[in-house]
Amino acid sequence: MENFEPVLVAFVCNWCTYTAADLAGTSRLSYPKNVRLIRVMCTGMVDPQYVIKALLEGADGVLVSGCHPGDCHYINGNYKARRRIKLLKEILPQFGFEPERLRLTWIGASDGIEFAEIMQELVKELKALGPSQAKMKMVV
Amino acid sequence: MAITATIEVNQQDLLTSLKAFCTKLLEQDAISAILVPQRLPMKSMVMPTLVTEADHLDGVDPLSPAFPMNGAKVLAKLTRRPSGGKIAAIMRPCEIRAFIELVKLKQARTEDVVLIGMDCLGAYGNTDYFRFAGEDAEAATRRFYESVLAGKGAALDGVDLTTACQACEAPFPTSADIAIGLHGVDTGRHLLVLGQTPAGDDLLQQMGLPSSEVPTERQAIMDQLRTSREKYRDDMFAATAAATDNIDKLNTYLANCVNCYNCRVACPVCYCKECVFVTDVFNHDPSQYLRWAKRKGAVKMPTDTVFYHLTRLTHMSTACVGCGQCSNACPNDIPVMELFRMVAHNTQRAFAYEAGNSVDEKPPLSEFKEDEFQEVVGL
Amino acid sequence: MQTKIGKALVIGAGISGIRAALDLAEFGYGVTLIERSPHIGGILSQLDYQFPTDRCGMCKMLPLVERDAGSQFCLRKGLFHDNIDIKLSTELASVEGEPGDFKVTLRQEPNPVDAARCIGCGKCVDVCPVTVADEFNAGLTTRKAIYLPVPHTIPNPYRIDTAACTQCGACQEVCPTEAIRLVDEGRKDFNILVVDDELIVRDSLKEWLEEEGGFHVSMAESGQEALQHLKTETCHLMLLDIKMPGMDGVEVLEKAKELFPDLPVVMMTAYATVETAVEAMKIGARDYLIKPFDTDALIPKVIQIYQTLSTPPGPELEVGAIVMSGGTSYYNPADGKDTYSYGSLPDVVTSLEFERLFSGTGPNGGQLLRPSDGRPIRRIAWLQCVGSRDMQSNADFCSNICCMYAIKEANVARERAARAGTELETSIYYMDMRTFGKSFQRYRDRSEASGVAFKRGRVHSVEPDLQANDLQLRWADIDGNVAVDHVDLVVLSVGQRPAEGTQALTETLGIGLNPWGFPQTEPFSLTRTERDGIVAAGSFAGLKDISESVTQASAAALAASTTIHNAGGSIGLKDQPEAIYADVSRETPRILVTVCTCSEAVTQGVDQKALTHHLKSDPAVDRVEFLDGTCTAEGWDKLVALVKQHRPNRLLIGACLPYVYARKLKALGTEVGLDPRLMEVVDIRTPVFQAAREDAPEGTEPSAVTVQRLLAMAVARLRRISPAPVATVPVFQQTLVVGGGIAGMTAALAIADHGFTVDLVEKDKALGGNLQWLSKTIDGQDIRAFLEDTRNRVTGHPQINLHLDTRVIAAFGQAGTFYSTLEDGDGNAVQVNHGATILATGGHEAATTAYGFGTSPRIVTQQNLEAQLHDGTLDPTQLHTVAMIQCVDSREEPRNYCSRVCCSTSLKHAQALKAANPSLRIVVFYRDMMSYGFMESYFTEARKSGITFIPYTLDRRPAVAADGTDGDRVTVSGYEPIIGQPVEMTADLVVLATGIVPELPGELADAYGVARDEDNFFQEAESKWRPVDALKEGVFACGICQAPRNIHESIATAEAAAERALRILGRERLPSGTIVARIHESLCSLCERCVEACPYGARSLDPENERIVVNPAMCQGCGACAATCPNNAAYIEGFDAEQLMDVIDAALN
Amino acid sequence: MTAVATQNRPGTESAPGPDALKAIQDKIKSCIQCGTCTASCPNEFAMDLTPRHLWRMVLMGDTEDIFASQTFTLCSACYTCSLRCPRGLPLTEAMHDLKQLAAKHKLPRYKASTAFYGHFMDTVRRHGRIRETEFISRYFMTMTPSKPLMPLKYTSMGLKLLRKGKLHIENPFAAPGKQSLEAIFQKVESMEERA
């Protein structure tokens, strides 16, 4: 556990959070290596199956992050995403996935610092949770 | 004003009365056909039949404890597009609920159908039913409803209702156009008929059945039944939760699964032409399997089993009506209904949604609001 | 992809410049967009949040059709468009020629950092010794002389602030790519002549200029000597003292100018003779310096002059029209009497500084901390009208934007505080809260309900309370109670001023200014100037908020476009051959991976062999090559050669700044016949910055691992791509305009003037709408003559089919292809096919039953009064008292919006009545006087003419009672809060301002698939960024069916709507983007959930063929449909499930 | 400086009519009642009407209430309101105008104030500078018939000021600046008469 390095898969929207991540990167803010960014056009395109896939395949946590309410480039994709995350947060914990392993955040394009802070916080939390139950299991 | 009427019953011969009711339905100008379960000449099975002529109603048997399929899918096929006529469909409450879900999913239409539901007495599993019915399906039905209506329960000849039915807290056709009531009704003499929508009232008006009142004790009896079912259901949920509350246990629970996808074929609300799990998305490159095996040292084949069930739950749990056909269809006797219903119960509660309640309620994932579910956002 | 020969120049790349440039570019013209600062975005690069969403959303301005011609990422980050050439740090030097055929010369400020070489490593910043205030953070933080102007733009090379740079050379030494070339050889040959009678001045100037500036300096102690020097030696710049014995500076200047008319001269003056210096500038001096000199100011000024002079002008362009969109500047409170101690009290900030204070890229990373001591802020006060509505700062105008931005700032600050879990008190001190725009009033009400305190009173000064360590404000409320409030921070809501350089630019262009220094526009136009082909966009013409700036930028684009079109600019360019790509769909993937090695961060610890081996373990990877400097010309050539040699069917480039490759990939695709959709650039540098740092925290993942994974993920994505041919939809190149009022007529004319057919439908028998009952504008323009002229142009236009007494009875369709059925009064129906739809259905004065309306002929509406004044049935000289009541049934539920025109109409009427009868008593009952913008001066005039204005609140409204025969005696009573007493008067006339209600029938809106807002106005796609568009592309609205507006503003929206429609009409087919929704029909169950999920109305059910269809031009590729579809029958090309699953896999490997 | 108030000047003893306000109204017509004057006034606490209230009455021509108020007499001419007024109105001047009107009409309500200003200026005129002792003695002399105890009220303050050297006993006949100032006073008087 001491040296446990969790893996966080982050689905980030092209317009806001990806921009924030890029800003964090170019501003040389330090955010943990544990984050695997997957750029999508909009959080509204994140199909629940992607989240399940990531968790079953060994991600210790999944983050879906997009534009704040009212800011979505595609008008309301983030609201749709919020319902899907709500659904997943109902289903997954029933099977032992701690609710903290799935997160939804809004991170705006200029919030590079916030992006870095949230990543640090998430990784800290995941470290505290320990490895995900699915990590070493023979399930696909 | 809702119509309350009766169907005369002679000496608790419900089947004859129901046949007469069906005949009368067919006499109505507005009705072109009825969809009603009938005993089949072959075997002892009971299946939905589409009837246009009254002389083909001999096997009418909506009270049979046989429930080989959820009729909602059949009715959806009949109503998907205008058919040129109106169908009166006599179905179980869970079938009606599934049908309403399919309407919302544009797989069916309500315009050409009058939904007639009956207080559901429950059903046996397919194999149990065959054991119970033997060669005489009609007698089996009579034995079954007489016992149940007499308050002696459905456990007969060593078989009992399916778990789904025992856990069903909604055996009343609340979302039908016309409800046929058994509970709290003196079924030796008559059945209760209730118009529950304008369409239902219209039809009843035309049929001119003798009017009546809802027996005062009906509500209490229904409540009592619901309470005991809920208790059973909650115990079932507790047991299922204990059996699946981590991925190891879930793996064990689903260990028999061979990815046959029968559960989704039997499911009335799984409406996809083809499940995503049989499409190219899951037609992995051979190198993929090797990579998976490498990552964890071994990989169970066939793959994507837990993935399939979890993903399917995200697709259908908000629409699940608890009919139990999934378990009926599972070749390896995995208690999938217990699992799916448990999840469905929780997701539907989370969205304050009740599957099959009303066509006017949008499915949870087809709408959204600006200011909701703040609790899932942020750290 | 420029499709037409016409070209335009847009000056200023703020939002209005961007809007205008994009509109022109999308129509097919070539646009040069120049910007004096080193970044695009203007003021909005510093503002993160806009109401009403309290977020950004600027990206919604990007093209929706043919979106791949433009960039597809955060607009605050940058902008690319195939038809737009953006030139930063560039100004207009000169212009010649005629409308349609201008020859312009630009001047580009040199940057010693070579953008092509700079890799943004930032080493230069570490060594730069010069620290100056950072303008990006409004001076709240500091930066170095070498710096990134904006932290988040793309491309983002470092710049050197040449004015601040001491030329020490440290950056040049440390730069790993030799991108910096500081030494400016030219300076030592630049001869400066210093003319001053005082030796010490001459000597010290010589020393500074030579040592710090690197110039060559000569000296003269008198005018004669100076002139002599000029005759004998070459001199590039003369610094000339004004007060000298003998010949004074002005005389020397005159003589020198006779000899050398082009010689730049800078006057040196003591404070006492500043006026003389200003005079000297009129006779040719370039600038002046005030003694005693501040070297920090002097050297940069001279360097700037040197740079301007030494930079060869260029490039030269030929353009058909010029759009001025230079934005505005903001009032500097320190410039005036500064009673708020701005500049001396650090916790008194301007609104712009406050925006930076709570910005994520601001000084505190978004935390609300006091500038003085970093303590958390708990109480904030906004003071309105700082530098607005203030004669003392020469501002007899309202700046329009401050009320709303103050409320927004309060809201955002509250949200920030809530997130940090702290309490925040927010108070706005105001005189009138001018919530006159669409949705503003409800926004204000919501904010008030959520805890923003609105305090009606003007704070006279800010004083520090040393005891409490905070600031105190003394103010008097409307009832006369004086209070002292204590706050941690005071935000001054500063007003607008003309943009820096407005005078010089307008002089160059030959455009006049209004009394406040903003460009003067033509009557009834907010964009056209006295010179055809030179137009003003956005706030450059004064006092606009974002929504208006964007609208008027489109309107300006239209005016420019008309000029270009009239000069033949719409002639099509010779068709460029369409790129032909090989069909690789049946081939197994053969990916060429190139890895850029120019960054140490990437190469550090990377074993090229191991990386190659790992990547090639995926059978899809054919080759892995390592390239130095992929972004440089040499590097790119090598890459092209590799592609040609190995002929991969997919290309993966590992480099940095993926954004900048879009154009190169397109060109490469055309050259080698490989679809650019089969190429991908992945940023392998930004993610490893940290690993490359010497102070990288322990446990940081080694670069090699990161790079390998990033490439593998990209391979996974690329492997499965199989692009289908780009879909297009056909366009009926004509349009339908519904409504023949001024907006409809304007839009119809605008489009018809571009040669496209317009069907103009009007339900009445005559054109004109509300203009038919209006006579004159508040500024005296003759509305009737204007209407007559417009009508004549419409009826005489060969491209306009006029349908009077006609309605649209049915319609359906989408961008490019609409089908409408029109029916006239006789029941004859015709079908019109059109590519775009413009709704200009107007509105009318609201009916009322309030204030006794209908009980007395003496109680009238504004429209009644206008008519009576016009037809002479009302004789003002027979009146003694007139009462006007504003906001009748308005600005409260259910009609909780401001109708925008009523206050100025009352001012207009009051003025007219008073002019006819100076002894007339006029009392105006108002809530907040909405005399926004330059209208404020009419409010001032009305006050001066003796009209009484009495404010009322909703809980204490005036009352009107009519009695006597036929209600002939009308009594108006109210409450005057200042004197604290009821007032009562017998009024000869009571005028009710009832406001505007829209006329946009729900069936019409439904037919075209557009929504109406809660007040039944047209619901625009986005109030700020797409103000005249429906969410569904292809439908636009203008005039008062969109929102209440005056004539000028309605015309501007009509021009904007026309310009937006032209983008569609200008092409035969509309192409889709590359990331676009598609359908596996064999899997589709027709549940239509995707249709519901699509925010753009791009999906629909084709009932005949029983299938779902996607209009690819309307689809924006958001993927909401795909995520909704349970079995991936709906999917997004470029982001389909197979790809994403593989990417997830690769991410976890 | 618009005028010099002198109690010895001719005047009427009736309240000014609405027309008398015309000149003042013209000065402050464009007032928007923002209240900056009120908030910025250091003497506002002592006023019965706030400055904004007063200006509103001036604009409404409400002479009765204006000249029932002490507000303008309490203006100490600090000019803060004039400096702060967003309309740039000459409010201090307008206050002065009201004082003038009150003096000109010899309104009994303003006797103390008029006397105070009058004696102040007379002292200045006589000596070329203010002489506190003489000025205040004359003021008391004017006031004692109606308020006999008034000087007593100020005795302790007077003693304190004397002790601190703020008040001096001076030769009432020495008048070093008389000649030069007298010319100014005369000039102003003639100008005012013309006006």
Task: Name the domain count of chain B.
Answer: 2
Query: B218 and B269: one domain?
Result: no
- How far apart (Å, rounded) are the C-alpha atoms in residues D119 and D110? 14
ipTM summary value: 0.90
Peptide bond into C894 cis (omega under 30): yes
Query: C986 and C1011: one domain?
Result: no
The answer to whether residue C864 is domain-embedded is: yes
The answer to whether residue C726 is domain-embedded is: no
- State the Cα angle at C531 between C529 and C534, rounded to 5°: 70
The answer to whether residue B368 is domain-embedded is: no
pLDDT tens-digit readout, C583-593? 888 899 999 99
Asked whether the beta carbons of residue C1120 and residue A80 sit closer than 8 angstroms, the reply is yes
pLDDT tens-digit readout, A39-51? 999 999 999 999 9
- How far apart (Å, rounded) are the C-alpha atoms in residues C79 and C21? 11
Say how many CA atoms lie within 13 Å of C1092 toward its Cβ: 18
The answer to whether residue C154 is domain-embedded is: yes
CA C711 to chain B, closest CA, distance in angstroms equals 17
DSSP lists the bridge partners of residue A92 as none
What is the pLDDT confidence band of residue B59, given thresholds at 50, 70 and 90? Answer: very high
pLDDT tens-digit readout, A68-124? 998 999 999 999 999 999 999 999 999 999 999 999 999 999 899 999 999 999 999
Which residues neighbour C877 within 8 Å (Cβ) at sequence distance 6 or greater?
A: C916, C917
Query: B123 and B207: one domain?
Result: yes
Query: D102 and D169: one domain?
Result: no
Residue ranges in C626-680 assigned as alpha helix (H): 633-646, 662-672
Query: B225 and B278: one domain?
Result: no
Query: In terms of residue numbers, what domain contains D179?
Result: 111-194
The answer to whether residue B378 is domain-embedded is: no
The answer to whether residue C554 is domain-embedded is: yes
Per CATH, the homologous superfamily of domain A8-129 is: Lumazine/riboflavin synthase (3.40.50.960)
Query: B207 and B264: one domain?
Result: no
List of E strands, A7-81: 8-13, 35-40, 61-66
Pairing of strands C470-476, C482-487: antiparallel
Query: C662 and C757: one domain?
Result: no
Asked whether the beta carbons of residue C385 and residue D31 sit closer than 8 angstroms, the reply is no
Q: Position B228: which residue type? A: S
Instruction: Record the tokens describing residue B183, joined without a space.
Output: 């509970």
Please tell me the predicted confidence (pLDDT) of residue D3.
39
Query: D101 and D173: one domain?
Result: no
Asked whether the beta carbons of residue C699 and residue A28 sit closer than 8 angstroms, the reply is no
The answer to whether residue B322 is domain-embedded is: yes
Q: Could you give the C-alpha distances from C447 to A92, C52, C414, C443, in angstroms and in order?
A: 38, 11, 10, 6
Q: Which residue from B minimizes the CA distance to A133?
A: B247
Instruction: Record the tokens describing residue D122, joined without a space.
Output: 């007379």
Is the predicted pLDDT of residue D1 greater than 50, yes or no? Answer: no
Which residues neighbour C552 within 8 Å (Cβ) at sequence distance 6 or greater?
A: C16, C526, C527, C537, C538, C541, C544, C1052, C1056
Query: D118 and D101: one domain?
Result: no
Residue A41, chain C, CB below 8 Å: the answer is: yes
Asked whether the beta carbons of residue C476 and residue D80 sit closer than 8 angstroms, the reply is no
Of C984, C1003, C1012, which Cα lies nearest the Cα of C925?
A: C984
- Identify whether the C-beta of residue C963 lies closer than 8 Å to the C-beta of residue C969: yes
The answer to whether residue D8 is domain-embedded is: no
Please tell me the predicted confidence (pLDDT) of residue B320.
98
Query: In terms of residue numbers, what domain contains C963?
Result: 845-996
Of C383, C514, C516, which Cα lies nearest the Cα of C461?
A: C383
What backbone phi and psi angles, to 5 degrees, belong to C7? Answer: -135, 150
Q: Angle at which helices C15-27 and C546-566 pack, to 10 degrees?
A: 40
User: Taking CB atoms and an 8 Å cutoff, what residues of chain A touch C1144?
Assistant: 9, 38, 50, 53-54, 57
Query: Of A44, A73, A112, which has the smallest distance from its Cβ to C1123's Cβ?
Result: A44
Query: C428 and C519: one domain?
Result: no
Q: Parse chain A into domains and list their residue ranges.
A: 8-129
Asked whether the beta carbons of residue D56 and residue C979 sit closer than 8 angstroms, the reply is yes
Say how many CA atoms lie within 13 Å of C661 toward its Cβ: 24
Pairing of strands C534-536, C321-324: parallel
DSSP lists the bridge partners of residue C193 as C218, C238
- How far apart (Å, rounded) are the C-alpha atoms in residues B225 and B219? 10
Of C935, C756, C974, which Cα lies nearest the Cα of C851?
A: C974
Query: B56 and B185: one domain?
Result: yes
Residue B288, chain C, CB below 8 Å: the answer is: yes
Of C1071, C1110, C1070, which Cα lies nearest the Cα of C1093?
A: C1110
End-to-end CA distance of chain C: 41
Please tell me the predicted confidence (pLDDT) of residue C694.
65
Asked whether the beta carbons of residue B306 and residue A138 sit closer than 8 angstroms, the reply is no
The answer to whether residue D171 is domain-embedded is: yes
- How far apart (Å, rounded) are the C-alpha atoms in residues A103 and A86? 10
- Identify whether the C-beta of residue C886 lies closer than 8 Å to the C-beta of residue C925: yes
User: Taking CB atoms and an 8 Å cutoff, what residues of chain B touch C1142?
Assistant: 288
The answer to whether residue D11 is domain-embedded is: no
The answer to whether residue B158 is domain-embedded is: yes
- Identify whether the C-beta of residue D39 lies closer than 8 Å to the C-beta of residue C476: yes
Q: Angle at which helices C936-944 and C902-916 pack, to 10 degrees?
A: 30
Please tell me the predicted confidence (pLDDT) of residue D8.
47
pLDDT average, residue stretch D86-93: 94
Query: B198 and B262: one domain?
Result: no
Please tell me the predicted confidence (pLDDT) of residue C1074.
87
Q: Which residue from A minimizes the CA distance to C1126?
A: A47
Query: D89 and D146: one domain?
Result: no
Task: Name the domain count of chain D.
Answer: 2
The single-letter DSSP state of residue B343 is: H
- How far apart (Å, rounded) are the C-alpha atoms in residues C386 and C824? 55
- Chain C (1056-1095) residues lying within 8 Å, Cβ to Cβ, of chain B: 1080, 1082-1089, 1092-1093
pLDDT tens-digit readout, B200-231? 999 999 999 999 999 999 999 999 999 999 99
The answer to whether residue C582 is domain-embedded is: no
- Find where tokens 């500063």 sit: C494
Query: C43 and C93: one domain?
Result: yes
Asked whether the beta carbons of residue B366 and residue C1087 sit closer than 8 angstroms, the reply is no
Chains A and B form CB pairs within 8 A to the count of 126
Query: B255 and B340: one domain?
Result: yes
Q: Could you give the C-alpha distances from B188 to B11, B14, B212, B215, in angstroms and in order?
A: 5, 8, 16, 14
Segments of chain C with pLDDT less than 70: 1, 183-184, 575-577, 601, 690-699
User: Taking CB atoms and an 8 Å cutoff, what residues of chain B touch A137?
Assistant: 247-248, 251, 296
Instruction: Record the tokens describing residue B50, joined without a space.
Output: 């589409």
Query: B225 and B252: one domain?
Result: no
Of C922, C911, C897, which Cα lies nearest the Cα of C994?
A: C897
Is the predicted pLDDT of residue A140 greater than 80, yes or no? Answer: no
C and D make contact (3+ CB pairs below 8 Å): yes
Q: How many CB atoms lie within 10 A of CB C545?
A: 23
- Find where tokens 């030799």 sit: C178
- How far apart (Å, rounded) are the C-alpha atoms in residues C202 and C213? 15
User: Taking CB atoms and an 8 Å cutoff, what residues of chain B touch A56?
Assistant: 306-307, 310
Residue that finishes a domain, picked among C627, C662, C688: C688
- How far apart (Å, rounded) are the C-alpha atoms in residues B124 and B120? 12
pLDDT tens-digit readout, B262-292? 999 999 999 999 999 999 899 888 888 888 8
Maximal C-alpha separation, chain D: 51
The answer to whether residue C158 is domain-embedded is: yes
Residue C1104 sits in a domain whose CATH number is 3.30.70.20
Query: C335 and C481: one domain?
Result: yes
CA B259 to chain A, closest CA, distance in angstroms equals 13
- SS3 assignment, position C359: coil
The answer to whether residue B272 is domain-embedded is: yes
**DSSP letter for each residue of C1019-1088:** --SBTTTBTTB-SSTTEEE-GGGTS---HHHHHHHHHHHHHHHHHHHT-SEEE--SSEEEE-TTT-----
What is the pLDDT confidence band of residue D179, given thresholds at 50, 70 and 90? Answer: low
Asked whether the beta carbons of residue A83 and residue B347 sit closer than 8 angstroms, the reply is no
Query: D23 and D102: one domain?
Result: yes
Of C996, C910, C925, which Cα lies nearest the Cα of C956?
A: C925
Element (H, E) at B286: helix B286-296
Query: C490 and C370: one domain?
Result: yes
The answer to whether residue C422 is domain-embedded is: yes
The single-letter DSSP state of residue C416 is: H
Query: B202 and B137: one domain?
Result: yes
DSSP lists the bridge partners of residue C395 as C390
What is the pLDDT confidence band of residue D2, given thresholds at 50, 70 and 90? Answer: very low
Query: Of C1092, C1126, C1149, which has the smallest distance from its Cβ to B295's Cβ?
Result: C1149
Query: B107 and B207: one domain?
Result: yes
Query: C134 and C158: one domain?
Result: yes
- SS3 assignment, position C617: coil
Asked whether the beta carbons of residue D86 and residue C458 sit closer than 8 angstroms, the reply is yes
pLDDT tens-digit readout, B102-159? 999 999 999 999 999 999 999 999 999 999 998 899 999 999 999 999 999 999 999 9
Query: C1107 and C1048: one domain?
Result: no
Query: In terms of residue numbers, what domain contains B115?
Result: 4-229
Distance of CA C373 to the CA centre of its chain: 34
CA D64 to chain C, closest CA, distance in angstroms equals 13
The answer to whether residue C947 is domain-embedded is: yes
List of E strands, chain B: 4-8, 33-39, 46-51, 87-91, 113-118, 178-181, 190-195
Q: Could you give the C-alpha distances from C283 to C252, C264, C279, C336, C502, in angstroms and in order?
A: 11, 12, 7, 28, 20
Of C288, C52, C14, C276, which Cα lies nearest the Cα of C150?
A: C14
Count of H-run helices and E-run strands, chain C: 29, 55
- How far apart (Å, rounded) are the C-alpha atoms in residues C176 and C172? 9
Q: Which residue from D minimizes the CA distance to C940?
A: D30
Please tell me the predicted confidence (pLDDT) of residue A83.
97
The answer to whether residue D7 is domain-embedded is: no
Residue ranges in C458-543 assigned as alpha helix (H): 502-509
Residues B70-91 as b/e (b if ≥16 CB within 10 A, e otherwise) read bbbbbbbebbbeebeebbbbbb
- Identify whether the C-beta of residue C10 lies closer than 8 Å to the C-beta of residue C559: no
Pairing of strands C728-730, C734-738: unpaired
